[in-house]
Every structure is written in C-alpha cells, then in structure tokens.
Structure 1
Amino acid sequence: MSLYAIILIIHLVSAVIGLGVSFGMPIVLRLVKTTTQAKFAHEVNVGLEKYAKIGSITLLVTGLVMGALHPYLFKEIWYIASIVIYIAVQPIVAGILPKKTAKQLELLQAHKEEELPEEYQKLTKEMLPLHNVLMVSVVILVVLMSIKPF
C-alpha cells in the first residue's frame, strides 16, 4: 500500500469521525427542553467536540499532505474549492459559535429554574443559520471530494 493510500484512508476516517460528530452536536442542543437537559447536552458536546476538532485538523493536514504528494491537485478546481470552503467556515467554527455557546453556558449556570432562559433560546435561534451554513458546507465538501466534478 502506498503512502498516498495510507494518508487517504486516514483522511476518510477523519471525515467520518469529525464531520459525523459535527452534524450531531447542534441537533443534540436543539432537542433540549429544560435547563437540566441543556446542561447535560452541553457536557456531551464538550466530549464530542474533541473528536470534531481532531477530525477537522486531521482532514486539513492529510488533505494538504495528499496535495504535497500529488502536486497536480493544486491545479484541480474541486481541490482548491474544498480548501477555500474549509478555510471560509473556520471563523464560524472557531470564533462565532464557541462564543455563543460560552454565553449559553453562562446563562445556564446562573439560571435556577427548569424552564430554559429566554436569552438562551434566543442564542439558539441565532446559531441555527450558522449551523446550517456549516452543514451545507460539509455536504458540498463531501460532494466535491467524492465526485471531483471539475
């Protein structure tokens, strides 16, 4: 088995783990109905987030290594578009959503009732379009890398 094939397998496994978890995390948070459920969902997501981060970083590194092993990839539109999309969503993944999630956790820690705070629900609604952008981006990336349309 070639080095490229080994890197490709690592890349694919990272996609399944990292992107799969990334799809599930917002769904878990949207299903909560009480403060207790929300606190638990956030705890679960903290554990899952490790897999999402490791998978995401591994995807980038292995993707670039495959490009280094086969430089012609840097001339392929699907490959370049994949890198651009990946980088374009990083401000959402690494900046905006973590700040909103931290604010949600602060609200939950200060809240004593079982009914979710209104501000928590407002933040959840604000995050929904961002999660949708991420999910659509992931689907586009998977399609680009699977069928290599151009």
Structure 2
Amino acid sequence: MYIYVVFIHIIAAVTAMAAVICYPLIMSSARTTSQVRFALSLLEKTAILPKIGGTLLLLTGLALGFLETSLFKELWYVLSIVIFLVILVIFAGLIPAGIKQQLRLLQQTKGEDLPEKYRQSRKRSAWLEGIANLAAFIVILLMVFKP
C-alpha cells in the first residue's frame, strides 16, 4: 500500500510543481496589455493544477505519515508539511486573487501600455511566486536528503 501512496504522491507533486514553476516563466514573457491578458487568462485556467495537485500532495504526504507513524517524529517530515502549507496558501489563495485583481485592472485599460497599478500588483505576485518556488525547492531538498 505504501508504494502506491508514494506513486500518487509523486504524480501529485509533478502536477502541482509544474504549474508553480511555469507561472513566472509565462508572466515574464508578456509585455503588452493584450499579451498580459492572455497570459493571465491562461494562468487562471491552470490555477486548478496547484490546487488539485497540492491538496492531493498534502493528503498523500499525511497518508504516508499515518502508514509509517515514525515520520511524525522526523523534523524533515514535519518541516516539509509546514512549508508545503505555506506554498498551498500562496498558490491556491493569494496568487489566484492577484490574477483576478490584475485582470480587473487590465479590463479598465485602453491601449497596449501596462498601467502602473498593474505593475505593482504583478510585482507582488512575482514576489509571492518567488517565495513559493524557494519554499518548494526547500521541501524537495528535505524530502530527498532527509536531514
């Protein structure tokens, strides 16, 4: 049973992390209002991936802990769960809210120049994405090396 849960855990990680890593790549290539609108609508559609993958990742991670209860005594395991909850809050709650705000700002914009309010909102989202990506890297390190 344990190996099947690990398999689902890995698939969930790939699903969630692929989307997380792509957010900054997609947004960094958009330069005009219409490009940003398209990029944000794409991110809005793919926002389900971190939500589903992340939730499944958390549930399977906890299931692994219940199957192997000694994991709850391991610092790397507990830290991974705590850090992952931060990632989940960022990508399931804060980033989608930022995307909606940015889309609203762009709907009010005429022309192709990006408004300053959008740039400020995008900087906040980029900062959150950076924190989440760094946290994901730390979680991966903890899981691989189990210090």
| Structure 1 and Structure 2 fold alike (TM over 0.5) | yes
Alignment of 1:72-83 (within 5 A): 72-83=70-81
Identify the residue that residue 50 of structure 2 maps to in structure 1. 52
Post-superposition Cα deviations, 1:14-58, rounded to whole Å, max 9, x if no partner, equal 111111111101221122111110111012112221112111011
Considering only aligned residues, what root-mean-square deviation do their CA atoms show, in Å? 1.4
Unmatched tracts of structure 1, length 5 or more: none
SS at match of 1:21: helix
Identify the residue that residue 12 of structure 1 maps to in structure 2. 10
CA contact (8 A) 2:102 2:121 kept: yes
Aligned residue pairs: how many? 147
Unmatched tracts of structure 2, length 5 or more: none
2:62 to 38, 60, 64: 64
* Percent sequence identity over aligned pairs: 36
Identify the residue that residue 107 of structure 1 maps to in structure 2. 105
Identify the residue that residue 39 of structure 2 maps to in structure 1. 41
* Counterpart AA for 1:30: S
CA contact (8 A) 1:25 1:48 kept: no
Q: TM-score, normalised by structure 2?
A: 0.92
SS at match of 2:78: helix
